[in-house]
Protein backbone atom coordinates (compact mmCIF):
# COMPACT_ATOMS: atom_id res chain seq x y z
CA UNK A 1 0.00 0.00 0.00
CA UNK A 2 1.03 3.61 -0.56
CA UNK A 3 0.80 5.49 2.74
CA UNK A 4 1.09 9.25 3.18
CA UNK A 5 2.21 11.22 6.24
CA UNK A 6 1.36 14.89 5.63
CA UNK A 7 2.61 17.74 7.78
CA UNK A 8 -0.01 18.85 10.31
CA UNK A 9 -1.20 22.34 9.40
CA UNK A 10 -3.66 23.00 12.21
CA UNK A 11 -2.55 26.00 14.28
CA UNK A 12 0.33 25.18 16.63
CA UNK A 13 0.17 21.44 15.93
CA UNK A 14 3.68 19.99 16.02
CA UNK A 15 2.89 16.29 16.25
CA UNK A 16 3.32 13.99 13.26
CA UNK A 17 1.36 10.90 12.23
CA UNK A 18 4.22 8.44 12.58
CA UNK A 19 7.73 8.10 13.96
CA UNK A 20 10.66 6.75 11.91
CA UNK A 21 10.40 3.52 13.92
CA UNK A 22 6.82 3.06 12.73
CA UNK A 23 7.74 3.73 9.12
CA UNK A 24 10.59 1.22 9.37
CA UNK A 25 8.02 -1.48 10.18
CA UNK A 26 5.97 -0.52 7.12
CA UNK A 27 8.83 -0.36 4.64
CA UNK A 28 10.09 -3.70 5.99
CA UNK A 29 6.78 -5.14 4.74
CA UNK A 30 7.37 -3.54 1.30
CA UNK A 31 4.84 -0.75 1.74
CA UNK A 32 5.66 2.66 0.26
CA UNK A 33 5.56 5.58 2.69
CA UNK A 34 5.48 9.21 1.55
CA UNK A 35 6.40 11.81 4.18
CA UNK A 36 5.96 15.50 3.55
CA UNK A 37 9.20 17.41 3.95
CA UNK A 38 9.73 18.75 7.52
CA UNK A 39 6.57 16.94 8.75
CA UNK A 40 8.42 15.49 11.73
CA UNK A 41 10.61 18.42 12.73
CA UNK A 42 8.23 19.69 15.40
CA UNK A 43 8.42 16.30 17.11
CA UNK A 44 12.18 16.06 16.80
CA UNK A 45 12.34 13.84 13.69
CA UNK A 46 14.25 15.13 10.65
CA UNK A 47 13.76 14.24 6.99
CA UNK A 48 17.02 12.29 7.08
CA UNK A 49 15.63 10.12 9.90
CA UNK A 50 12.73 9.14 7.66
CA UNK A 51 14.95 8.63 4.61
CA UNK A 52 17.14 6.24 6.61
CA UNK A 53 14.18 3.92 7.22
CA UNK A 54 13.08 3.88 3.58
CA UNK A 55 10.51 6.67 3.37
CA UNK A 56 10.16 8.89 0.31
CA UNK A 57 10.17 12.63 1.08
CA UNK A 58 7.72 14.73 -0.94
CA UNK A 59 7.87 18.54 -0.96
CA UNK A 60 4.16 19.43 -0.70
CA UNK A 61 1.02 18.29 1.08
CA UNK A 62 -0.78 18.10 -2.28
CA UNK A 63 1.66 15.48 -3.55
CA UNK A 64 1.33 13.39 -0.40
CA UNK A 65 -2.46 13.24 -0.71
CA UNK A 66 -2.31 12.68 -4.48
CA UNK A 67 0.04 9.70 -4.35
CA UNK A 68 -1.31 7.94 -1.25
CA UNK A 69 -3.97 5.27 -0.82
CA UNK A 70 -4.02 5.82 2.94
CA UNK A 71 -3.37 9.04 4.86
CA UNK A 72 -2.15 8.74 8.46
CA UNK A 73 -2.48 11.93 10.46
CA UNK A 74 -2.88 13.22 14.00
CA UNK A 75 -5.60 15.87 13.75
CA UNK A 76 -8.66 16.05 11.52
CA UNK A 77 -8.21 17.60 8.06
CA UNK A 78 -8.84 21.34 8.08
CA UNK A 79 -10.56 23.33 5.32
CA UNK A 80 -7.41 23.61 3.18
CA UNK A 81 -7.18 19.81 3.10
CA UNK A 82 -10.82 19.02 2.30
CA UNK A 83 -10.31 19.19 -1.50
CA UNK A 84 -7.20 16.98 -1.24
CA UNK A 85 -9.02 13.96 0.20
CA UNK A 86 -9.83 11.53 -2.63
CA UNK A 87 -12.66 9.08 -3.21
CA UNK A 88 -11.88 5.64 -1.68
CA UNK A 89 -8.82 7.04 0.12
CA UNK A 90 -8.44 5.81 3.70
CA UNK A 91 -7.97 8.65 6.19
CA UNK A 92 -6.86 7.38 9.62
CA UNK A 93 -6.71 10.12 12.26
CA UNK A 94 -8.52 11.79 15.15
CA UNK A 95 -11.71 13.22 13.61
CA UNK A 96 -14.08 14.20 16.45
CA UNK A 97 -16.84 14.66 13.87
CA UNK A 98 -19.53 15.67 16.36
CA UNK A 99 -17.74 18.97 17.01
CA UNK A 100 -17.54 20.10 13.35
CA UNK A 101 -20.36 20.13 10.81
CA UNK A 102 -18.15 21.48 7.94
CA UNK A 103 -15.66 18.63 8.46
CA UNK A 104 -18.44 16.04 8.58
CA UNK A 105 -20.07 17.29 5.39
CA UNK A 106 -16.71 17.59 3.60
CA UNK A 107 -15.79 13.98 4.39
CA UNK A 108 -19.24 12.78 3.31
CA UNK A 109 -18.77 14.61 0.00
CA UNK A 110 -15.25 13.21 -0.50
CA UNK A 111 -16.53 9.60 -0.45
CA UNK A 112 -13.37 8.60 1.37
CA UNK A 113 -13.05 5.96 4.11
CA UNK A 114 -12.75 7.81 7.42
CA UNK A 115 -11.48 5.73 10.33
CA UNK A 116 -11.44 7.72 13.57
CA UNK A 117 -8.79 6.93 16.17
CA UNK A 118 -11.14 8.00 18.96
CA UNK A 119 -13.84 5.51 17.89
CA UNK A 120 -11.69 2.36 17.82
CA UNK A 121 -12.92 0.30 20.76
CA UNK A 122 -11.53 -2.93 22.20
CA UNK A 123 -13.37 -5.88 23.75
CA UNK A 124 -13.27 -4.28 27.19
CA UNK A 125 -14.99 -1.13 25.96
CA UNK A 126 -11.89 1.05 26.23
CA UNK A 127 -10.61 3.33 23.47
CA UNK A 128 -6.99 2.25 22.90
CA UNK A 129 -6.07 4.95 20.37
CA UNK A 130 -7.56 7.76 22.42
CA UNK A 131 -6.06 6.62 25.73
CA UNK A 132 -2.47 7.88 25.30
CA UNK A 133 -3.56 11.35 24.21
CA UNK A 134 -6.09 11.43 27.04
CA UNK A 135 -3.27 10.56 29.41
CA UNK A 136 -1.17 13.41 28.04
CA UNK A 137 -4.10 15.87 28.08
CA UNK A 138 -5.14 14.92 31.61
CA UNK A 139 -1.65 15.51 32.95
CA UNK A 140 -1.23 18.71 30.94
CA UNK A 141 -4.55 20.05 32.23
CA UNK A 142 -3.03 20.36 35.69
CA UNK A 143 0.28 21.70 34.36
CA UNK A 144 -1.50 24.43 32.41
CA UNK A 145 -4.14 25.06 35.07
CA UNK A 146 -1.46 25.58 37.71
CA UNK A 147 0.24 28.14 35.46
CA UNK A 148 -2.93 30.10 34.76
CA UNK A 149 -3.77 30.30 38.46
CA UNK A 150 -0.88 32.76 38.70
CA UNK A 151 -1.84 36.40 39.21
CA UNK A 152 0.09 37.88 36.21
CA UNK A 153 -2.22 35.89 33.90
CA UNK A 154 -5.30 36.93 35.94
CA UNK A 155 -5.64 33.76 37.98
CA UNK A 156 -6.44 33.69 41.70
CA UNK A 157 -2.79 33.80 42.69
CA UNK A 158 -2.83 30.28 44.10
CA UNK A 159 0.07 27.84 44.40
CA UNK A 160 -1.62 24.47 43.99
CA UNK A 161 0.62 22.65 46.43
CA UNK A 162 0.52 25.36 49.08
CA UNK A 163 3.41 25.73 51.55
CA UNK A 164 3.81 24.89 55.24
CA UNK A 165 1.25 26.94 57.15
CA UNK A 166 -0.82 27.66 54.01
CA UNK A 167 -3.53 25.35 52.68
CA UNK A 168 -3.03 23.86 49.20
CA UNK A 169 -5.20 24.79 46.25
CA UNK A 170 -8.37 22.85 45.51
CA UNK A 171 -8.90 21.02 42.21
CA UNK A 172 -12.27 19.75 40.99
CA UNK A 173 -12.15 17.07 38.27
CA UNK A 174 -15.35 16.30 36.35
CA UNK A 175 -15.17 12.78 34.98
CA UNK A 176 -13.26 9.76 36.32
CA UNK A 177 -12.17 8.40 32.95
CA UNK A 178 -8.61 8.39 31.64
CA UNK A 179 -8.37 12.21 31.54
CA UNK A 180 -9.84 12.61 34.99
CA UNK A 181 -7.70 10.00 36.69
CA UNK A 182 -4.50 11.36 35.12
CA UNK A 183 -5.44 14.92 36.09
CA UNK A 184 -6.22 13.84 39.65
CA UNK A 185 -2.93 11.94 39.85
CA UNK A 186 -0.92 15.00 38.73
CA UNK A 187 -2.79 17.38 41.01
CA UNK A 188 -2.34 15.04 43.96
CA UNK A 189 1.36 14.78 43.15
CA UNK A 190 1.64 18.56 43.44
CA UNK A 191 0.01 18.37 46.86
CA UNK A 192 -3.36 19.88 45.91
CA UNK A 193 -6.64 18.85 47.51
CA UNK A 194 -8.54 16.99 44.76
CA UNK A 195 -12.22 16.14 44.32
CA UNK A 196 -13.13 13.90 41.39
CA UNK A 197 -16.77 13.50 40.34
CA UNK A 198 -18.54 10.95 38.15
CA UNK A 199 -21.91 9.22 37.76
CA UNK A 200 -20.21 5.81 37.51
CA UNK A 201 -19.75 4.35 40.99
CA UNK A 202 -17.46 1.64 39.63
CA UNK A 203 -15.04 4.32 38.44
CA UNK A 204 -15.28 6.20 41.73
CA UNK A 205 -14.45 3.03 43.65
CA UNK A 206 -11.45 2.50 41.37
CA UNK A 207 -10.23 6.05 42.02
CA UNK A 208 -10.72 5.58 45.74
CA UNK A 209 -8.60 2.42 45.63
CA UNK A 210 -5.68 3.61 43.52
CA UNK A 211 -5.19 7.32 44.29
CA UNK A 212 -3.92 8.91 47.53
CA UNK A 213 -6.26 9.67 50.40
CA UNK A 214 -6.26 13.41 49.68
CA UNK A 215 -8.11 12.63 46.42
CA UNK A 216 -11.77 12.39 47.42
CA UNK A 217 -14.63 11.14 45.28
CA UNK A 218 -18.13 12.57 44.89
CA UNK A 219 -21.17 11.46 42.92
CA UNK A 220 -21.89 13.91 40.13
CA UNK A 221 -25.17 15.79 39.76
CA UNK A 222 -25.99 19.42 39.05
CA UNK A 223 -26.59 20.32 42.69
CA UNK A 224 -23.27 18.85 43.80
CA UNK A 225 -21.37 20.55 40.97
CA UNK A 226 -22.93 23.92 41.88
CA UNK A 227 -21.77 23.49 45.47
CA UNK A 228 -18.22 22.43 44.62
CA UNK A 229 -17.46 25.16 42.08
CA UNK A 230 -17.86 27.80 44.79
CA UNK A 231 -14.80 26.58 46.69
CA UNK A 232 -12.42 25.10 44.09
CA UNK A 233 -9.61 27.01 42.39
CA UNK A 234 -9.07 24.84 39.31
CA UNK A 235 -11.81 22.90 37.51
CA UNK A 236 -11.00 20.23 34.91
CA UNK A 237 -13.64 19.03 32.43
CA UNK A 238 -12.83 15.51 31.26
CA UNK A 239 -16.17 14.15 30.01
CA UNK A 240 -16.38 11.86 26.99
CA UNK A 241 -19.47 10.65 25.17
CA UNK A 242 -18.17 8.25 22.53
CA UNK A 243 -18.88 9.73 19.11
CA UNK A 244 -21.21 12.42 20.43
CA UNK A 245 -21.10 15.90 21.90
CA UNK A 246 -20.07 16.30 25.53
CA UNK A 247 -22.85 17.33 27.95
CA UNK A 248 -22.73 20.90 29.31
CA UNK A 249 -22.02 20.34 32.99
CA UNK A 250 -21.15 23.97 33.76
CA UNK A 251 -23.53 26.57 32.37
CA UNK A 252 -22.97 30.30 31.87
CA UNK A 253 -24.90 31.26 34.99
CA UNK A 254 -22.70 29.00 37.12
CA UNK A 255 -19.62 31.12 36.38
CA UNK A 256 -20.99 33.80 38.72
CA UNK A 257 -20.85 31.25 41.56
CA UNK A 258 -17.07 30.88 41.12
CA UNK A 259 -14.51 33.11 42.76
CA UNK A 260 -12.75 35.63 40.49
CA UNK A 261 -9.60 34.12 39.02
CA UNK A 262 -10.87 30.55 39.09
CA UNK A 263 -9.40 28.57 36.16
CA UNK A 264 -11.44 26.08 34.14
CA UNK A 265 -9.74 23.71 31.69
CA UNK A 266 -12.02 21.97 29.18
CA UNK A 267 -10.28 18.85 27.89
CA UNK A 268 -13.56 17.87 26.17
CA UNK A 269 -13.30 20.83 23.76
CA UNK A 270 -12.69 18.40 20.84
CA UNK A 271 -16.19 17.03 21.43
CA UNK A 272 -17.84 20.42 21.78
CA UNK A 273 -16.79 21.00 25.38
CA UNK A 274 -18.49 20.29 28.70
CA UNK A 275 -18.73 23.97 29.67
CA UNK A 276 -21.40 26.12 28.02
CA UNK A 277 -18.90 28.98 27.57
CA UNK A 278 -16.26 26.80 25.89
CA UNK A 279 -14.86 27.90 22.54
CA UNK A 280 -11.76 26.29 21.00
CA UNK A 281 -8.47 28.13 21.49
CA UNK A 282 -4.89 27.51 20.36
CA UNK A 283 -1.52 27.31 22.09
CA UNK A 284 -0.79 30.71 20.55
CA UNK A 285 -3.71 32.32 22.38
CA UNK A 286 -4.87 29.68 24.87
CA UNK A 287 -7.13 31.53 27.30
CA UNK A 288 -10.00 33.98 27.51
CA UNK A 289 -11.96 35.37 30.45
CA UNK A 290 -15.72 35.39 31.01
CA UNK A 291 -17.19 36.70 34.28
CA UNK A 292 -13.67 36.82 35.79
CA UNK A 293 -13.21 33.07 35.17
CA UNK A 294 -10.14 32.07 33.16
CA UNK A 295 -11.02 29.57 30.40
CA UNK A 296 -8.30 27.31 28.94
CA UNK A 297 -9.82 25.46 25.97
CA UNK A 298 -6.97 24.45 23.66
CA UNK A 299 -8.27 21.86 21.22
CA UNK A 300 -4.95 20.05 20.74
CA UNK A 301 -3.35 20.13 24.19
CA UNK A 302 -0.94 17.22 23.52
CA UNK A 303 0.43 19.23 20.57
CA UNK A 304 2.40 21.31 23.07
CA UNK A 305 4.51 18.26 23.96
CA UNK A 306 4.83 16.74 20.48
CA UNK A 307 7.83 14.49 21.05
CA UNK A 308 6.16 12.65 23.92
CA UNK A 309 2.78 12.65 22.18
CA UNK A 310 4.01 11.36 18.80
CA UNK A 311 5.88 8.48 20.41
CA UNK A 312 2.86 7.59 22.56
CA UNK A 313 0.52 7.75 19.57
CA UNK A 314 2.63 5.60 17.24
CA UNK A 315 2.93 2.97 19.99
CA UNK A 316 -0.80 2.30 19.74
CA UNK A 317 -1.68 3.15 16.12
CA UNK A 318 1.07 1.13 14.41
CA UNK A 319 -0.55 -2.33 14.78
CA UNK A 320 -3.75 -1.00 13.18
CA UNK A 321 -1.84 0.82 10.42
CA UNK A 322 0.01 -2.40 9.61
CA UNK A 323 -3.25 -4.33 9.50
CA UNK A 324 -4.82 -1.79 7.13
CA UNK A 325 -1.74 -1.70 4.92
CA UNK A 326 -1.36 -5.49 4.77
CA UNK A 327 -5.03 -6.31 4.17
CA UNK A 328 -6.88 -3.24 2.89
CA UNK A 329 -9.59 -1.62 4.98
CA UNK A 330 -12.44 -4.04 4.23
CA UNK A 331 -10.61 -7.22 5.16
CA UNK A 332 -8.85 -5.54 8.09
CA UNK A 333 -12.19 -4.44 9.55
CA UNK A 334 -13.68 -7.90 9.02
CA UNK A 335 -10.82 -9.47 10.94
CA UNK A 336 -10.55 -6.85 13.68
CA UNK A 337 -13.84 -5.74 15.22
CA UNK A 338 -12.04 -3.07 17.27
CA UNK A 339 -10.84 -1.39 14.09
CA UNK A 340 -14.25 -1.74 12.42
CA UNK A 341 -15.78 0.39 15.18
CA UNK A 342 -13.56 3.24 14.00
CA UNK A 343 -15.35 3.34 10.64
CA UNK A 344 -17.18 6.64 10.95
CA UNK A 345 -17.93 7.83 7.42
CA UNK A 346 -17.51 5.35 4.59
CA UNK A 347 -17.91 6.47 0.97
CA UNK A 348 -20.47 9.09 1.90
CA UNK A 349 -22.34 7.00 4.48
CA UNK A 350 -22.29 8.07 8.13
CA UNK A 351 -21.92 5.01 10.37
CA UNK A 352 -22.69 6.59 13.76
CA UNK A 353 -26.10 7.88 14.78
CA UNK A 354 -24.42 10.32 17.22
CA UNK A 355 -22.86 12.15 14.26
CA UNK A 356 -26.18 12.30 12.42
CA UNK A 357 -27.96 13.52 15.55
CA UNK A 358 -25.37 16.23 16.16
CA UNK A 359 -26.20 17.93 12.86
CA UNK A 360 -29.70 16.62 12.07
CA UNK A 361 -28.40 14.76 9.03
Which residues are part of the catalytic machinery?
96, 270
Buried b (16+ CB within 10 A) or exposed e, 293-310: bbbbbbbbbbbbbbebbb
Strands (E), 220-300: 234-237, 263-266, 287-290, 293-296
Phi and psi at residue 151, to the nearest 5°: -65, -40
CA distance 280 to 7: 21
Closest of 274, 269, 271 to residue 254, by C-alpha: 274
CA distance 305 to 319: 23
CA distance 76 to 103: 8
Q: Could you give the residue ranges of the DSSP H alpha helices within 328-359?
A: 329-335, 337-340, 353-359
Strands (E), the chain: 2-5, 32-36, 56-58, 70-72, 90-93, 113-116, 170-174, 193-198, 215-219, 234-237, 263-266, 287-290, 293-296, 343-346, 349-350
- Beta partners for 219? 198
CA distance 63 to 73: 15
Amino acid sequence: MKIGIPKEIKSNESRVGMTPAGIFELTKKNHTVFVQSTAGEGSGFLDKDYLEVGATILPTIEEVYLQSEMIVKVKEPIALEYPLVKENQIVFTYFHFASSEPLTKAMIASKSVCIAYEMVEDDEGTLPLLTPMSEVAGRMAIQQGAKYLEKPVRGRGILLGGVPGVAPGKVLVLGAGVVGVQAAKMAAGLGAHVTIMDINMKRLRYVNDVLPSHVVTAFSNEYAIRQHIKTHDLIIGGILVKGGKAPKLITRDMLKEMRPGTVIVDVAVDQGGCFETTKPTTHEDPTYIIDDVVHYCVANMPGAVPHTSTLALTNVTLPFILMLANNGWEKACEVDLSLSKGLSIVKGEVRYKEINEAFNL
